Amino acid sequence: MEQAELIEALANLDDSDFYAVLGEVFKLRSPDKYQNDLIRSHYVICKASSTPVDGENGEEWGPWKLVVYAFPDDREYDHPWGDLGFTCQSGVCMTCGVNLMSVAKHAICSVCSSKAGLS
C-alpha cells in the first residue's frame, strides 16, 4: 500500500476504528528505536484543544489543553466496546496525573497503564 493510500484510508475511518487501529499500531511501534535503562516511551492518542475566551481585543483562543485517550478496562465489563468514538468520560489518572478521556467510566491510562475511574 502506498503512503497516500494509507493516509486516505486512515483519514476516512470513523473515530472508533481510528482509535482501535492506532492503539494496535502503538503496541507494535516505539517512538524511541533504542529503548534502554535511561528512557521508556510509547505513543498515545492525545487530543489538543482550545476554546474561545474573552481577551483584551475581544474573543481570543484560550490556552491549549492536552487530553490522552484511555481505552476501556475490559476486565470491568462483560460486553465488548464496539464504538470507541464518543468520549464522554473524563478525569485525571491518579497515578501519573495526565488528563484522560474515554468512552468508559472504567478505563486504563494509556500513559502508565493504571486503572482509572472516570466520570
Q: Minimum CB separation from Zn ion for residue 42, in Å? A: 12
Our CB check for Zn ion shows the closer of 20 and 92 to be 92
Catalog residues that contact Zn ion under the rule CB under 5 A: 93, 95-96, 109, 111-112, 114
- Residues 100, 107: contact at Cβ < 8 Å? yes
Which string of b and e fits 94-111 if b means at least 16 CB within 10 Å?
eeeebebbbbbbbbbbbb
Residue 16: CB atoms within 10 Å: 15
Rank residues 4 and 39 by Cβ distance to Zn ion and give the closer one: 39
Is the CB of 103 or the CB of 108 nearer to Zn ion? Answer: 108
* Least gap, CB of 116 to Zn ion (angstroms): 7
Helix, coil or strand: residue 4: helix
- Find cell 487501529 and name the residue: 21
- Compute the least distance from the CB of residue 70 to Zn ion, in Å: 8
